[in-house]
A = this chain, B = another copy of it.
Amino acid sequence: MSTAPDNAVRSYIEAHRAAFLDDLVEWLRIPSVSADPERSKDVARSAEWLAAELSATGFPIAEVWQTAGLPAVYAEWPSGDPDAPTVLVYGHHDVQPAARADGWDSEPFEPVVRDGRMYARGAADDKGQVFFHTLGVRAHLAATGRHAPAVNLKLLIEGEEESGSPNFAALLRERADRLACDAVVVSDTGMWSADTPTVCTGMRGLADCQVDLYGPDQDIHSGSFGGAVPNPATEAARLVAALHDEERRVTIPGFYDDVAELTDRERQLFAELPFDEASWLRTAKSHGVLGESGYSTLERVWARPTAEVNGFYGGYTGPGGKTIVPASAHLKLSFRLVAGQDPAKIQQSVRDWVADRLPAGIRHEITFWGTTRPCLTPLDHPALRSTVRAMERAFGKTVRFTREGGSGPAADLQDVLGVPVLFLGISVPSDGWHSVNEKVELDLLLKGVETTAYLWSDLAENWQR
C-alpha cells in the first residue's frame, strides 16, 4: 500500500519545520484585515504572497481570483491518477482587526514565539490552519515518493470570511467548473482540546430577521391612553416570550418537523467528551445553563435548533422614566438550524407565526437578512473515516467527534458544489480567535501538517464514489 510511513513523514516535517515557520511568520506580518477598507491593499498583498508560496510549494496552478470584493487564492495540483478523487481545501487568508492597544502583549502583526506558541493575529484563524497544507502536501510526496498528490488537490482560500463572505457564494457559482470536486476539507475550525483531538462533523444553519411592530402613530401619553390601546413593545415581548414553551422548546408550528434527531450513538459520542460545565460556562461568560429540556449542553449548541433574540429596542430608552405608549418596537431574531431543516421553510413558518399572533392595531414588517443551510457529515462517511484515521496516526490518540454551533461558508461549499464537507482543524479553544493574543500551538500545527500528509493517501485508497 502507498500509505506514507510515519517515520518518513515525521522526519521530513522535522527537517523543514524551521523554514515552514519562517514562511508563516512572513505571511502573518501582512495585516490582511478584510473589515478595514484601509487594509484592502494588504489583503491583496496577502493573496499574492500566498499564490507565490503555493507555486513554490509545487502547485502547478496557483492564481489570485478577483471578486466583487477582496481577492481569493486558488491552487490546483492534479494527481495524474485517473481514478483519484478530487478534494478541495477551504480556508481564508483575511483576518480579524487587531491593535496592540486592544490589550495584546505583543504587536498582533509581529509574530512572536513564546513557550511553543506563536502569537499573532491569524495564527490560528486562519492562516496557520491554511498553511499546514503547504508542508503537509510536501511531506506526503516525500514520504510516498510521489511527484504529485494521491488526490487531485485543490485549494480555495477566500479573502472575506471575517467580513461575512459577501461574495463567496457568487464566486463558487461562477467558478463551479474549476472547483468541481468529490469532497471539501474545511480547515477553519478547531478541536476539543490539545489532549482530545476531534473532528467536527457539522455546523448549524441560520435564518435571521428583524421584526418591526408599529402601534400608535407617535409615542402617546400612557396616562391618557395606557390600558386601552395596544402597545407594540408589549406585543413584541409577547412574541419573544411565546417563541419558547416552559420546556424551552421552540413553539413555532412545524419548527422541528424536519430536524435530523440525534442517534443514540451520536449522543453517546457527545457524552464521552470530557465536558466540564464550569469551564464551559467560563468560556461562555455565562452564569447559568438553560435550554431545551431533555438535551445536554453540547447537544443544545451542536445539534438542536434554536430561536434567539439578539437584540430589541423601542419606546423610551434614555435615563429615568417616561410614561409613554411607544409608537414602535423592534426585534432582532435569529434561528439556528440543524441538519434536515430548510431555512426557506423556517422563514415562512416564522412569518406565518408572527402574523397570526398580533392584535388589531399593531402593524408589522419582517425582514430576513439571509440564510445559511446547516451541514452534517454522516459518521460512517468514508472521507470522514479517512480523516479520523489520518488524525489518529498523527496524534496517536483516539479521535472523537464534535460539531460547531455556528454557521459558516461550509454550507455554501456543500450547497453550490453539491459534495460532502469535512472539517480538519487543529486549533484549540484557548487560541483566542477574534480576541487579543491570538496564538497557535506549534505542536498542534505540526500535527496538522502530519495529518494531511497521511490524509491524501488514505482518501485515495478508501474513496468510494
Q: Mark A326-340, 1 if CB is under 8 A from B, else 0.
A: 100110101010000
Q: Is residue A354 within 8 Å, beta carbon to beta carbon, of the partner chain?
A: no
| Contact (Cβ within 8 A) B206 A323 | yes
Binary interface encoding of chain A residues 211-235 relative to chain B, with 1 for a CB under 8 A from any of its CBs, else 0: 0000111101111111111110110
Cross-chain contact A361 with B222 (CB below 8 angstroms): no
Beta-carbon contact of A236 and B237 below 8 Å: yes
A172 within 8 A of B: no
Q: Which residues of chain B are within 8 angstroms of A322 by Cβ–Cβ distance? A: 310-311, 332
A430 to chain B, nearest CB (A): 14
With A and B bound together, what is the CA distance between A18 and B323 in angstroms? 39
* Residue A159 CB within 8 A of the other chain: no
Q: Cβ of A216: which chain B residues have Cβ within 8 Å of it?
A: 284-287
Name A286's contact: one of B225, B237, B289, B306 (CB within 8 Å). Answer: B225
Q: How far is the CA of A222 from the CA of B305 in the complex (A)?
A: 11
Q: Are B321 and A227 in contact (CB under 8 A)?
A: no
Q: Are A329 and B312 in contact (CB under 8 A)?
A: yes
Contact A301 B236 (CB under 8 A): no
Query: Which of the residues B224, B317, B334, B405 comes within 8 Å of A301, measured between beta carbons?
Result: B224
Segment 281-326 of A: residues with Cβ below 8 Å from B: 284-292, 297, 300-301, 304-306, 308-317, 320-326
Say whether A321 contacts B369, CB under 8 Å: yes
Q: Closest chain B residue to A289 by CB distance?
A: B228
- B residues near A162, Cβ cutoff 8 Å: none
A241 at the interface (CB under 8 A from B): yes
A322 to chain B, nearest CB (A): 6
Say whether A290 contacts B405, CB under 8 Å. Answer: no
Docked complex: A382-434 residues within 8 A CB-CB of B: 404-407
A210 within 8 A of B: yes
Flag if A223 contacts B404 (CB, 8 Å).
yes
Secondary structure of the A contact surface, majority rule = mixed
Nearest CB of B to A255, in Å: 13
Contact-residue bracket for chain A: 35 or more
A336 touching B226 by the CB < 8 A rule?
A: yes
Residue A238 at the chain B interface, CB threshold 8 Å: yes
A238's contact among B240, B321, B332, by CB below 8 Å, is which?
Answer: B240
Judged by a CB distance under 8 angstroms, whether A362 is at the interface is: yes
Contacts of A332 in B (CB 8 A): 315-317, 321-322
Q: Is the CB of A286 within 8 A of B369?
A: no
Partner of A223, one of B286, B361, B406: B406
State whether the Cβ of A450 lies closer than 8 Å to any Cβ in chain B: no
Instruction: Indicate if the CB atoms of B222 and A336 lie closer than 8 Å.
Output: yes
Q: Which residues in B have their C-beta under 8 angstroms from that of A68?
A: none
Task: Tell me if A278 is interfacial: C-beta within 8 Å of chain B.
Answer: no
Please give the distance in Å from A343's CB to the nearest CB on chain B: 14
Q: Does A260 contact B (CB under 8 A)?
A: no
B227–A292 CB distance below 8 A: yes
On whether the beta carbons of A301 and B226 are closer than 8 Å, the reply is yes
Instruction: Tell me the nearest residue of chain B to A304, going by C-beta.
Output: B227
A297, A312, A334, A404: most-surrounded residue (chain B CB, <10 A): A312
Is there contact, CB below 8 Å, between B323 and A317? no
B288 and A360: CB pair below 8 A?
yes
A359 at the interface (CB under 8 A from B): yes
Residue pair A301, B227 in contact (C-beta under 8 Å): yes
A355 contacts the other chain (CB 8 A): no
A387 to chain B minimum Cβ distance, whole angstroms, is: 22
A242 at the interface (CB under 8 A from B): yes
Q: Which chain B positions have C-beta within 8 A of A288?
A: 229-230, 359-362
- Establish whether residues B221 and A290, one from each chain, have CB atoms under 8 Å apart when the complex forms: no
The answer, yes or no, to whether A140 is at the interface (CB within 8 Å) is no
Q: Which of A204, A210, A361 has the most CB of B within 10 A?
A: A361
State how many angstroms separate the Cβ of A323 from the closest Cβ of chain B.
5
Question: What chain B residues lie within 8 Å of A220 (beta carbons)?
Answer: 284-286
Query: Would you call B234 and A244 a contact (CB within 8 A)?
Result: yes
A62 interface residue (CB < 8 Å to B):
no
Chain B residues with Cβ below 8 Å from A334 are 222, 226, 321, 323
- Assembly CA distance A369 to B323 (angstroms): 11
- Write 16 A-B pairs (CB below 8 A) sorted by A numbering: A216-B286, A222-B306, A222-B310, A222-B336, A223-B336, A223-B406, A223-B407, A227-B300, A227-B304, A230-B286, A286-B361, A290-B359, A311-B315, A312-B314, A320-B369, A323-B334
